[in-house]
C-alpha cells in the first residue's frame, strides 16, 4: 500500500540541501535512540551529493553516533573502483571520509574491476545477498528496514537507476538488478528495485531545479510507476518529497501549503 506523499518546498536548492541535512540528522539520532543504530540508503546526483555536503558542514552533525550508522546505496554506476563518476566516490568526498564511520557498516555496491568483473548481473546478485544477510527476522523481507532511503528524481522521473519503461522498473521479485542500456550514461548500472525501496520506513525524494519541474508534476499526478518510476517510490511509514521552488513550479498549489520555508 502506498503512503500519501508529503511535500516540503524550499526557496532554493541551497536551503533545501541544508534543511534536508538537518532533517536527516534528526531522523538518524531518533532511530539510534530508539533502536541503538540507524540505516540510511544514499543517492547520487547533484541533489543527493549536495545533501551530503550540507550534512558535512552542519553544526549538529556530531549529534550522530557515526559508528552506529549503516550506509547503503540505492544505485551505482558500474565503473572501476575510485572512478569519479561512481556515487560512492562522490559520497566519500562529500561526507564519508570526514566522519568516523565503522568501515564494516558502509556497504558500497560492487565495482566493475572487482570480484565479478564486468558482470553487472552477478554484482547485483551479490549485493542482494549482502542485503539479505543484514536483514533481521523482524524486517519480514529480503532487505533491512532502512530508516531513510534517499532518492534523487531525474528529469524523466527515474529514481535510482530505474528508468521509465525499462526492465528494472518492472521487477517484482529481486531486490537488486543489473541495468543495461540505461538512457543516461554510463549505460551499465546496478540498482535497488521498487520492492527493496518500499522496505524503507521513510523514502525521501529530492528534486531541485527547473529541469525537475515536469518530472515532479508528472510523478505526483498519479501515473503508473512503469511510465514514471518516481511514482512507485514510497516508504512504509512516510514518503517525503523535498523540493525547491523551481522544481515545484508546475505542481498544483493544492498539493502543498503556501507558507513553506
Q: What is the pLDDT of residue 84?
A: 98
pLDDT in tens, the chain (261 residues): 467 899 999 999 999 999 999 999 999 999 999 999 999 999 999 999 999 999 999 999 999 999 999 999 999 999 999 999 999 999 999 999 999 999 999 999 999 999 999 999 999 999 999 999 999 887 778 999 999 999 999 999 999 999 999 999 999 999 999 999 999 999 999 999 999 999 999 999 999 999 999 999 999 997 899 999 999 999 999 999 999 999 999 998 777 655 444
DSSP per position, 181-193? S-SSSSS-EEEE-
DSSP per position, 247-259? TTTTS-GGGS-S-
* Domain-embedded: residue 87: yes
* Domain-embedded: residue 118: yes
Q: What is the pLDDT of residue 177?
A: 98
* Domain-embedded: residue 181: yes
Instruction: Domain count for the chain, please give it.
Output: 1
Fill in the DSSP letter of residue 5: P
Q: What is the pLDDT of residue 140?
A: 72
* Sheet (strand 189-192) strand order: 75-77, 189-192, 176-179
| Separation between Cα atoms, residue 45 and residue 58, nearest integer Å | 20
* Domain-embedded: residue 58: yes
Numbers of helices and strands, H then E, in the chain: 6, 9
Contact indicator for 16, 245 with CB cutoff of 8 Å:
no
* Domain-embedded: residue 261: no
Q: What is the pLDDT of residue 138?
A: 79
Q: What is the pLDDT of residue 242?
A: 98
Domain range spanning residue 60?
6-255
* Domain-embedded: residue 182: yes
Dihedral through CA 162, CA 12, CA 246, CA 165, nearest 10?
Answer: 0
Provide the CATH number for the domain around residue 109. Answer: 3.40.50.1360
Amino acid at each position: 500500500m502506498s503512503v500519501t506523499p508529503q511535500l516540503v518546498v524550499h526557496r532554493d536548492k541551497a536551503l533545501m540541501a541544508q534543511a534536508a541535512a538537518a532533517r536527516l540528522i534528526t531522523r538518524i539520532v531518533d532511530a539510534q535512540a530508539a533502536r541503538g543504530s540507524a540505516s540510511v540508503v544514499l543517492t547520487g546526483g547533484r541533489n543527493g551529493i549536495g545533501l551530503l555536503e550540507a550534512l558535512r558542514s552542519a553544526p549538529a552533525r556530531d549529534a550522530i553516533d557515526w559508528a552506529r550508522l549503516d550506509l547503503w546505496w540505492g544505485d551505482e554506476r558500474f565503473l572501476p573502483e575510485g572512478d569519479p563518476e561512481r556515487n560512492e566516490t562522490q559520497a566519500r568526498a562529500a561526507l564519508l571520509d570526514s566522519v568516523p564511520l565503522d568501515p564494516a557498516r558502509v556497504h558500497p555496491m560492487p565495482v566493475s574491476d572487482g570480484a565479478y568483473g564486468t558482470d553487472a548481473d552477478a554484482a547485483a546478485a551479490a549485493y542482494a545477498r549482502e542485503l539479505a544477510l543484514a536483514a533481521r527476522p523482524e524486517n519480514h523481507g529480503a532487505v533491512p528496514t532502512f530508516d531513510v532511503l534517499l532518492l534523487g528524481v531525474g528529469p524523466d522521473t527515474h529514481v535510482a537507476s530505474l528508468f521509465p519503461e525499462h526492465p528494472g522498473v518492472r521487477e517484482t521479485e529481486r531486490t537488486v538488478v543489473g541495468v543495461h542500456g540505461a538512457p543516461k550514461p554510463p549505460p551499465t548500472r546496478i540498482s535497488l528495485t521498487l520492492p527493496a525501496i518500499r522496505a524503507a520506513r521513510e523514502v525521501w525524494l529530492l528534486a531541485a531545479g527547473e529541469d525537475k519541474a515536469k518530472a515532479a508534476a508528472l510523478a505526483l499526478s498519479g501515473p503508473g510507476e512503469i511510465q514514471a518510476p518516481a511514482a512507485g517510490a514510497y516508504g512504509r511509514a512516510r514518503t517525503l518529497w523535498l523540493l525547491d521552488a523551481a522544481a515545484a513550479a508546475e505542481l498544483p498549489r493544492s498539493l502543498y501549503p503556501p507558507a513553506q520555508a
